[in-house]
Amino acid sequence: MAGFTTKTNPKRFHKSQLKFYFILAPIAAFMLLPIIFIFSQAFKPIDELFLYPPRFFVRRPTFNNFYELFAATKGSSIPVSRYLINSILTALFTVIFTIIISVFAGYALSKKRFKAKNLIFTINNLALMFVPVAVIIPRYLIVQKLGLIDTFIINVLSLLAMPIGIFLIKQFVDQIPDALIEAALIDGANDFQIIFNLIMPLLKPAISTVGILAFQVAWNSADASTYFINNENLRTFAFYVSNLTAVTGNTIAGQGIAAAASLIMFVPNLVLFIFMQSRVMNTMAHSGLK
């Protein structure tokens, strides 16, 4: 049984695993390069940014680029912190509402019995492949008809319908035995009590995952700010960063500021994922589409 010296999901290290390290290490290094570059560039002092030939790694790190970033305003008097606060609020509300909406819908699709249930789930599965930018023009027209152009809530509203959220939650609720819910019903609990007191605590991994996905979309997305909002006061940090060259020009000093801004975009995503990774992996085990 030679095949069993190396196997999937091994418990212990074996020298036969070395070959996988040899393949993975260079790939991982390549993947890491641009990320190391953002870190390095963000902390470079101005003379190192101007250096020729350019040097990849920073020698004498400073926070100068971050100061410059927050000192820069876009001609008008709107400080960068304004965009950042908008992003934080957008992300916060998007995460909270996506979780509540997805848990309600996922619970109903998993545990309630009604005619249209399978149809709705099938349509939702089909909508997993929905790409919002593909229909950006009708979306714009609809948002305009609803009078939501230039409102803060469109930042949040346009992101809340997340088919993948409903899908993952429903798959997870499926694991909870019906008997548990029936027992609670007999004890006189209503559906909201069941959701908040019984289902939510059991759904922690799936809720964390949906929360983290909602956060990533909300934090990274510049779409609502680009298409639905003209008022600078309401736009998000992602929008600010993607238009940064318009502010600083494509100058070399601007490159350091841009890297600092990209770092601020990236780090929250990374930290959240590191904290949640075991819950995310647990959820992904139930992510199969049939």
The residues in 171-210 that bind other proteins, with binding defined as CB under 8 A, are 191
Tell me the sheet residues that pair with 79: 73
Q: Under DSSP, is residue 239 helix (H, G, I), strand (E, B) or coil?
A: helix
Determine the distance from the C-alpha atom of residue 261 to the mean position of all C-alpha atoms in its chain, rounded to a whole number. 17
Site for other proteins (CB under 8 A): which residue of 15, 23, 147, 187? 23
Q: Which span sits near other proteins by CB under 8 A: 59-67, 74-82, 172-180, 217-225?
A: 217-225
Tell me the sheet residues that pair with 73: 79
Interface with other proteins, residue 15, by CB under 8 A: no
The residues in 131-170 that bind other proteins, with binding defined as CB under 8 A, are 131-142, 146, 157-158, 160-161, 163-164, 166
Site for other proteins (CB under 8 A): which residue of 58, 200, 269, 279? 269
Report the C-alpha gap between 167 and 106 in whole angstroms: 7
The residues in 240-259 that bind other proteins, with binding defined as CB under 8 A, are 241-242, 244-245, 250, 252, 255, 258-259
> CB 104 → other proteins: shortest distance, Å?
4
Report the C-alpha gap between 117 and 138 in whole angstroms: 28
For other proteins, the closer of residues 21 and 77 by Cβ is 21
| C-beta of residue 72 within 8 angstroms of C-beta of residue 247 | yes
For other proteins, the closer of residues 77 and 86 by Cβ is 86
Give the DSSP per-residue string, 68-122. Answer: HHHH-B-SSS-BHHHHHHHHHHHHHHHHHHHHHHHHHHHHHHHH---TTHHHHHH
Q: Which span sits near other proteins by CB under 8 A: 57-65, 72-80, 109-117, 199-207?
A: 109-117
Interface with other proteins, residue 38, by CB under 8 A: yes
Tell me how crowded residue 130 is: count the other CB atoms within 10 A of its CB: 13
Q: Which span sits near other proteins by CB under 8 A: 72-80, 121-129, 172-180, 199-207?
A: 121-129
Q: Which DSSP category does 55 fall into?
A: -
Label residues 265-276 b or e (16+ Cβ within 10 Å = b). Answer: bbeeeeebeeeb
Q: Under DSSP, is residue 73 helix (H, G, I), strand (E, B) or coil?
A: strand
> CB 78 → other proteins: shortest distance, Å?
18
Interface with other proteins, residue 40, by CB under 8 A: no
For other proteins, the closer of residues 179 and 289 by Cβ is 289
> CB 277 → other proteins: shortest distance, Å?
7
Q: Supply 200's token pair.
A: 């939510």
